[in-house]
Amino acid sequence: MTTLGIYLRLSRESDDSASLDTQRAAAHRWLEAHGYDPSDAVEYLDAGVSGTKPLEDRKAMSGLMADRPSVVIAWKLDRFARSVSEFLRLVAWAEAHGVALATTDNSINTTTPTGRMAATVLSALAEWERNMIASRITDGHATRRSQGRWSSGRPPFGYRIERRDGAAYLAIDDNQAASARDAVNALVNGSTVAATARMTGLSEPQWRRLLKSPTLRGQRAHKGELVCEADGITPIQFAPPILAAAELMAVRERMLALATGADRAPRRATPMCSDMAQCYRCKGRLNGGTSDKGVPLYRCKAGHVTIYAETLDKRVEKDFLAAFGTYAETVVRLDGGNDLSAELLEAKEQAERLAARMATAGPLMLGTLESLAQDLEDTYARLRDAHNPDVREVQVATGQTMAEAWEAYDASTRSRLLSGMGLQVTLHPKQAAERLTVSWGLKPEDAAEAALEDIA
């Protein structure tokens, strides 16, 4: 049986005031002062362990309770536990097994009734202090949120921490913000959440949560609610916005379309040209399928004709590159107009929050809320008068040829491109002189500009 035990615990490695060396030196002094040899003592060390954890969940404390030394010394009471219930459990265990608990500051010594009473009182004070610290931290975070300051932790993607006047604020990180804008532009123009997440370096769940939050608008949510001014209506601006309201609304509409299947990319098993290939006989669309050996096929639903998917796709690719490969790739950009639909939507959301406040407000607050309501009405009227969503489409060259773009596209993007060009493939029987006939709904000089509208 171990005679002497020194219990050491440290929550954080950076806590210099309660370092392990400080605790160990104090324990050795106490043992020497009470006639013990420190070299006979066994150390039980819990590093990086909170005092709020149950006794059994701490590895060193669990070992100590299994060894049952006759005397256990700790630096201070809060090293044993930071809750009254856990400390009382430790005291009950010590009494049941004849173990004396003591601290180097002599605040407790459970070998006497008075010592046990003092230990209980001091444990209650330690728990009270911990609760007060937690309350102060919570209040501090709330104050910083109300002032538009950054509370703590890593900044969200797209931003960096900037210190001004001794306080932390969020500022735009140019590189991350550029990645976010590029990814958002790709998503709105036909890509997927998973593909654009790779452009940012974030995982798909992280990117999805970011797009669903108000963060890229320079705003924040706390416990699922938008952080607002004291009026509970106006959002607090924590940082300059990376995306405009209209851009974020377009992103969410695209995500909704993908989630509901309205704009979902074809399944991987679907052949690239399945919506554009037909049977010579019944004129029915060719469906995807596989051969007995698992090779992808195009097949007529009525069973008239079948062809390997690779054979048809290679023929279409060859014709596409011959007809359009040298033309410049262009994408559609919107120019002109003044689309304030997102701002109008934000104003409506503020009006809904204001209505909820007015429904429960007392007479003293009604005057203030009515004034806010009038200001909101005036703002909404100005936005509505300025709202003019008519825009014109502008073709912008990307700097690469259609052949180069084709190599970079994935299967679903190629499929949308071919559909936009009006591709029509007819599959004839094997004995026909020409097995495949390929036609395009657009002329080459028009297709290079117009086809990507379907992708955008």
Q: pLDDT, tens digit, for every residue of 225-239?
A: 777 776 666 777 888
Candidate from 154-163, 256-265, 300-309 with smallest mean pLDDT: 256-265
Higher-confidence position of 389 and 86? 86
pLDDT for res 142: 67
pLDDT for res 452: 47
Instruction: Show the tokens assigned to 368.
Output: 């203030």
Separation in Å, CA 277 to CA 46, 218, 287, 424: 69, 48, 9, 6
Give the distance from CA 318 to its chain's centroid: 42
pLDDT for res 427: 94
Higher-confidence position of 145 and 412? 412
pLDDT for res 301: 86
Portion of the chain with pLDDT greater than 70, in percent: 81
Is the pLDDT reported for residue 310 higher than 90?
A: yes
456 confidence band (pLDDT: 50, 70, 90): very low
455 confidence band (pLDDT: 50, 70, 90): very low
Is the pLDDT reported for residue 303 higher than 70?
A: yes
pLDDT for res 17: 61
Is the pLDDT reported for residue 282 higher than 60?
A: yes
The closest alpha carbon to 131, from 80, 99, 66, 83, belongs to 83
β-bridge mates for residue 33, sequence order: none
pLDDT for res 88: 79
254 confidence band (pLDDT: 50, 70, 90): confident
pLDDT for res 339: 63
The closest alpha carbon to 208, from 222, 73, 216, belongs to 216
Portion of the chain with pLDDT greater than 90, in percent: 30
pLDDT for res 246: 76
Q: What is the DSSP letter of 228?
A: B
Helix (H, G, I), strand (E, B) or coil at 427: strand
